[in-house]
Amino acid sequence: MNLPNKITMSRIFMALMIMILLLFPFSAAGIELPKILVNEEIVINIIYIIAGVLFIIASLTDFVDGHIARKYNLITDFGKMIDAIADKILVNSVLIILASKGFISPVIPVIIIVRDSVVNSIKMIAGSKGSVVAAIGMGKLKTACLMTGIVLTLFYNLPFELFNLKVADALLIVACILSVISGVEYYVMNKKFIFDESSKKPEVKSEV
């Protein structure tokens, strides 16, 4: 358990904290949380602000752990696996919760999760045949739009909401479009591995 892996594990812990904050029934438990009134019409639940701050910190750890691992040659198979898991736990759980709370359309987490499942399957097949599927530019842009859109949604789209600019929604829609496009790119770039039967072991027939 080296330093980058510890940082990655902290991202999972923060993701769990965000889930608890957003799902815990504070009102049912008799806990009254402070609310902030902005511009005399936007009522902000402080829990979403706290969750947004935690989300930003957790997202930054994704950059930090990778940077340290590459700089000091601390890349491990466990690190690669847990980093991917941490990313999905953080992003997908928040998307699902925001959709369940009515902040975003359920279509958004469906598209993101389905695309990730397809891409991960492609990477697994390519990896089993000795090929490493590197991140593509479209995928990185998708991630940037998605992360920024989630943060703005948790922050009630402020300050853009004051000017009636739905920037958070727009970024999430763009992220979905880029998600589909990048998913198609991954498929086109790696379809030779998907339909390549040469790596299959030949059947061994037993002689009687």
The domain spans of the chain are: 1-103, 105-197
The CATH classification number of 1-103 equals: 1.20.120.1760
The mean per-residue pLDDT over the stretch 101-116 comes to 96
The C-alpha angle 83, 129, 75, rounded to 5 degrees, equals 30
Query: What tokens appear for 103 in the block?
Result: 């902040």
Query: Looking at residue 133, what is its pLDDT?
Result: 66
Q: For 129-172, how does the pLDDT look when each residue is reduced to its tens digit (9 = 90+)? A: 766 666 678 888 999 999 999 999 999 999 999 999 999 999 99
Whether this prediction's pTM lies above 0.95 is answered by no
CA dist 130 → 80, 120, 141, 198 (Å): 16, 15, 27, 13
Query: Looking at residue 201, what is its pLDDT?
Result: 46
Q: Which residues pair with 45 in a beta bridge?
A: 35
Half-sphere exposure of 51 (CA within 13 A, CB side): 29
- Alpha-carbon Rg of the chain, whole angstroms? 21
134 contacts: CB under 8 Å, gap ≥ 6: none
Q: For 42-100, how does the pLDDT look when each residue is reduced to its tens digit (9 = 90+)? A: 899 999 999 999 999 999 998 899 889 989 999 888 888 899 899 999 999 999 999 99
CA dist 51 → 32, 44, 74 (Å): 17, 12, 30
C-beta separation of 91 from 116 below 8 A: no
Most confident option among 66-70, 109-113, 189-193: 109-113
